[in-house]
Structure 1
Amino acid sequence: MTDNARPEKSPCGGFTLLEVIVAVSIIGIVLVAVFRMQSQTILMNQKARFYTLAPLLAQQALAKVSIRAEKGEISGSGDFGEELPGYAWQASGEDVESEALGEAAENLKQIDVTVSFNGDEMTYGFRTYRLMPEKG
Structure 2
Amino acid sequence: MSPGCCAHGGFTLLETLVALSIIAVALVAALRAMGSTAGAASHLREHTIASWIAENRLAELRARQEWPAIGQRRGHGEMAGRRYTWSETVSGTANPLFRRVDIEVRAADEARTLGRLSGFAVRPLR
TM-score range relative to shorter protein: 0.5 to 0.7
Matches for 1:1-136 after TM superposition, within 5 Å: 14-63=10-59, 72=69, 75-81=72-78, 83-85=80-82, 87-96=84-93, 98=94, 101=95, 105=96, 107-117=97-107, 118-120=110-112, 123-132=114-123
- Which structure's relative contact order is higher, taking Cα pairs within 8 Å and 6+ residues apart? 2
Q: Which runs of 5+ in 2 are unaligned?
A: none
Give, in whole Å, the separation in 2 of the partners of 1:59 and 1:128.
9
Count of residue correspondences: 118
RMSD in angstroms over aligned alpha carbons?
A: 3.4
Give, in whole Å, the separation in 2 of the partners of 1:111 and 1:71.
9
Query: AA paired with 2:118?
Result: R
* Cα distance, 1:14 vs structure 2: 4.8
* Cα distance, 1:54 vs structure 2: 3.0
For the pair shown, which has the larger CA radius of gyration, 1 or 2? Answer: 1
Query: AA paired with 1:119?
Result: A
What CA deviation, in whole Å up to 9, does each residue of 1:73-106 have, x standing for no partner? 752223324844363322111222x2xx4xxx1x
Q: Which has the higher strand share?
A: 2
What CA deviation, in whole Å up to 9, does each residue of 1:41-97 have, x standing for no partner? 212322332343333211222245666x5684752223324844363322111222x
What TM-score do the two structures reach when normalised by structure 2? Answer: 0.67
Give, in whole Å, the separation in 1 of the partners of 2:39 and 2:21.
27
Contact preservation (8 Å) 1:65, 1:75: no
Q: Which runs of 5+ in 1 are unaligned?
A: 1-5
